[in-house]
Structure 1
Amino acid sequence: MALRLPRPHRFDVYVAVGGLLGGLLLVGLGLGTRTSDDPITLFDGPWPVLVPLVVMAGCELLRRTAPRIALLTGTVAITADLTTQGNIATILMFTDLVYAAVLYGPPASARRIPWITGLLTVAGTLVPFAVWREPEALLIGVVTGIAAFGPAATGWIVRDHRDAAVAAGLRAEQTALLAEMDRTQAVSAERARMARELHDMVANHLSAIAIHSTAALSIDKPGTSKEALSVIRENSVAGLAEMRRLIGLLRDADGDSEPAPAPTLDSLAALVATACANGLDVTLDTDHGRVSAPVELAAYRIVQESLTNALKHACPGRVTVALAQRDGVLDVRVASPYGHRDGPRAPGSGAGLVGMRERVALLGGTFEAGPDGACWAVRATLPVTEGDPA
């Protein structure tokens, strides 16, 4: 199977053509790097110079696509050029091949070439001087350094800067990606928090409205209908107030008005009274101290959602709400009669239990909900932070 080399880069073609034409011009003018009387000139005349020149120009076509092959072939060509009268264009193209091999070649070659050319430069300086004991012999090392080590060192510096720029670009892309991920997670978390707040605030009132509106439509008694409409109005007004509070939290407070404060555990008595007005038989037992605002809000919402579920699903009977603080945790438990019903008294989305579980998980607590004998029990333990006063 034949080896197919990649198509040369356009700039490499320009370099090869320019070097070849320049070398031909020098040959035509009779300008060489050595005279025919030089001891190392084995092939006299201008025509032997053309062979290394043409080979070196061909290597320039591969300086970017196959830099190692180009450098190895170019080394053979520059060695052959030493046996002729020489051509400055051949030497310049060889220096470019050394530079390109370091810049475009594999990392291993890029590390080795500067060391190899450096050692050759030192050897080309010391060995001829030790043999001939002439100061002019030092010029061999100088020429070797200019033609080999200088381009190799330059290529390594340029490659190092290029790799640093690429690494900086990758780091910038990774930073932007992480920032976008953080932004997406923050948006998702905020949307989930808003969904929990909206569900917990509105579901209780809308469930009561749905249940009592059904009763008002199904029972043809003016007194019962009037009582149901009164409950509907109370829950509508309360739900509207909760919605305004949420909108006030979401909107920038640029005006003089401030959003209503978040509900606290002191508001549980009013919550229970509303649940009793909606038709539940609820008892409240609280024994707790002061807790942090997040724990207080989570406990309130858990009780509120549990009473909403009892209003929709519980069998007739007493609902018990108990809060107790001990051993650094606030224990919240709501139990309602559990049994078989034809269906819920009001439709639900099933998001209530999910929202309560998420609230507890965010605070590092535990949450359980399920049948407990003849009751449906919801229990949550919320850690009380150390900074809270007892």
Structure 2
Amino acid sequence: MRLPRTHRDDVLIATAGLACGLLLWSLGLHTQGPGVGLPAGPLVLAPLGAMAAAELVRRTMPRTALAVGTVAVVADQFTRGNLMTVVMFADVVYAAVVWGPPAAARRIPVTTGLITVAVTIGFLAWFREPAALLIGVVTALLTFFPALTGAVVRNHRQAADTARLRAAQTALLAEMDRRQAVIAERSRMARELHDMVANHLSAIAIHSTAALSLDDPKTSRDALGVIRENSVEGLAEMRRLIGLLRDSSGHDEPAAAPTLDGLDALVRHTGLNGAASGLTFRLSDGRPPDTSLPAPVELAAYRIVQESLTNTLKHADPGEVAITLRSADHALTVEVTSPFGTRPGPRAPGSGAGLVGMRERVALLGGRFDAGPAPGPPRGPERIWRVRAVLPVAEDDKEPSA
């Protein structure tokens, strides 16, 4: 059987304790006066050496160290005594609680407490003088208080280990939620692509094959007409897919897509929910009047604002939340800023799936997306959380307003 390796700190403690004990012995300093115990010869060093040996295994074999230390400290009482033997025994008691098995860690403080009480009562009954209480105090300092300190340290270490494990598990669950959200959305995209676009692509493939294989101008012209019709319809389906992909109502038909015209109602509704948290909301719509954007762009912008407002209710500090829309350089810019800092009270947990969804929406349209802390305005909060999305809008994609 291979013995566990002695810890470096234990070697240092044992060496330092033995050296100090030898120094006290060479100077003739003992814990008991002349005429008490054995003569002050080398025999006094036996308990000191045994205690130093116990210190070597205080961490790797704590119960063995405590047993050897107890025998050594009792034997030391039958000699002139060495202060370092007693001091090292207190450290062995502490180490037995910190590094010993859980059952021993629970029993040792109770046992040392009972021993302290018994010694105090016994010496008080024997000497019948109040000075006997000092023996009880010394016993408590050497046994009960080291054990109690070890129990406190052990509990704090266990609490810290539990907190670290809980944090690691939370991070793992959040990462699993994020991956599941991405995988589920990609699977849904694949289903929607097949259901909405496959028929048009199949028709294009069939009629293009006919146009290539038949040398008939009329047949080719008819095939090209069908190909064009299915191409246009397929493109329209693709645009509707981008906009309605996340809005299935659970039936065969997708739900109606919201537009930016509904932002006023959304902001008012969010303002009612956020009033209790000290949040106010301001919407600045800088789009040119009488301009209608493509449905996928409007849906993506609406959902980005909606998700951002939901996040402000969960995480933002009290203050103003600004929603800004700007249309320039063939692109729609959506920006939502909110106070960011140390919000008092519990925060609603989040897995990051909302940010992933917003980033995917913008990526589907070929835009740019940024989210994170940023410096606040001159007369505003010191730091803000900013969500900014730039959604490209081609000139020929703009829909004329009615």
1:247, distance to aligned residue in structure 2 (A): 4.4
> Which letter does structure 1 place at the counterpart of 2:175?
E
Question: Which residue of 68, 71, 90 corresponds with 2:66?
Answer: 71
Cα distance in 2 between the residues matched to 1:261 and 1:54: 82
Distance, in Å, in 1 between the alignment partners of 2:3 and 2:128 is 47
Residue 162 of structure 1 aligns to a residue whose secondary structure is helix
Match of 1:46 among 41, 49, 67: 41
Cα distance in 1 between the residues matched to 2:230 and 2:74: 98
Identity of aligned residues (%): 64
2:354 aligned residue = none
Given the alignment of the two structures, is residue 257 of structure 1 paired with residue 289 of structure 2, yes or no? no
What pairs up with 1:115-126 in 2 under 5 angstroms? Answer: 115-126=110-121
CA distance in 1, matches of 2:297, 2:10: 73
Aligned residue in 2 for 1:154: 149
Which residue of 171, 183, 190 maps to 1:195? Answer: 190
Deviation at 1:87, TM superposition (A): 0.6
Pairwise CA distance, 1:249: 6.2
Partners of 1:211 and 1:220 in 2: how far apart?
16
Partner of 1:225: 220
Secondary structure in 2 matching 1:191: helix
Residue 68 of structure 1 deviates from its aligned partner by 0.5
Q: Give the gaps of 5 or more residues in structure 1.
A: 263-390
Match for 1:58 among 27, 42, 53?
A: 53
Distance 2:204 2:215 in 1: 18
Q: 2:176 corresponds to which residue?
A: 181
Q: Secondary structure at the match of 1:151?
A: helix
SS in structure 1 opposite 2:295?
A: coil
Instruction: Give, in whole Å, the separation in 2 of the partners of 1:138 and 1:225.
Output: 114
Structure 1 SS opposite 2:39: coil
Q: Which residue of 2 aligns with 1:211?
A: 206
Residue equivalent to 1:28: 26
TM-score (norm 2): 0.61
Q: Secondary structure at the match of 2:5?
A: coil
Equivalent residue number for residue 13 of structure 2? 15
The size of the alignment, in residue pairs, is: 257
**1:8-42 Cα shifts (integer Å, max 9, x gaps):** 1111110000000000000010000001233xx2x
1:319-344 Cα offsets, whole Å, 9 max, x none, are: xxxxxxxxxxxxxxxxxxxxxxxxxx
Give me the CA root mean square deviation. 2.3
Cα–Cα, structure 1 residues 144 and 16, in superposed 2: closer, same or farther, change >3 Å?
A: same
Return the letter of the residue paired with 1:257. L
Deviation beyond 4 Å, 4+ runs, structure 1? 247-251, 253-256
- Equivalence map 1:290-309=2 (5 Å): none
| Structure 2 residue 170 is matched with structure 1 residue 172 | no
Letter in 1 for 2:148: A
Which amino acid counterpart does residue 36 of structure 1 have in structure 2? P
Q: Distance in 1 between matches of 2:9 and 2:125?
A: 43
What amino acid maps onto 1:119 in structure 2?
L
Select the structure of larger CA radius of gyration.
Answer: 1
Q: Do the aligned partners of 1:30 and 1:46 also contact (CA within 8 Å) in 2? A: no
Please state if 1:113 is matched with 2:111: no
SS of 2:135 mapped into structure 1? helix
How far did residue 131 of structure 1 move?
A: 2.8
Query: Any idea what the Cα deviations from partners look like across 1:243-280, whole Å, max 9, x if unmatched?
Result: 233445689x9986242599xxxxxxxxxxxxxxxxxx
Q: Secondary structure at the match of 1:79?
A: helix
Q: 2:242, 2:296 within 8 Å by CA — same for their partners in 1? A: no
- Give structure 2 stretches of 5+ with no counterpart: 247-259, 261-284, 299-402
For the residues of structure 2 that align with 1:73 and 1:82, how far apart are their CA atoms? 15
CA contact (8 A) 1:248 1:258 kept: no
Which residue is equivalent to 1:133? 128
* 1:120-143 Cα shifts (integer Å, max 9, x gaps): 000011122123312222222111
Q: Deviations over 1:293-344 (max 9, x none)?
A: xxxxxxxxxxxxxxxxxxxxxxxxxxxxxxxxxxxxxxxxxxxxxxxxxxxx
Supply the distance in 1 between the matched residues of 2:2 and 2:131 (Cα, whole angstroms): 46
Structure 1 pair 139–198 and aligned structure 2 pair: CA distance change class (3 A): same
The alpha carbon displacement at 1:7 in A equals: 1.6
**Alignment-derived partner of residue 5 in structure 1:** 3
CA drift at 1:221: 2.5
CA distance in 2, matches of 1:51, 1:153: 28
Q: Distance in 2 between matches of 1:55 and 1:208?
A: 93
The answer to whether 1:236 aligns with 2:272 is no
Q: TM-score, normalised by structure 1?
A: 0.62
Residues in 1 aligned to 2:200 and 2:91: alpha-carbon distance in whole angstroms: 82
Q: Does 2:100 align with 1:102?
A: no
Question: Closer, same or farther in 2 for the Cα pair 1:142/1:214, shift >3 Å?
Answer: same
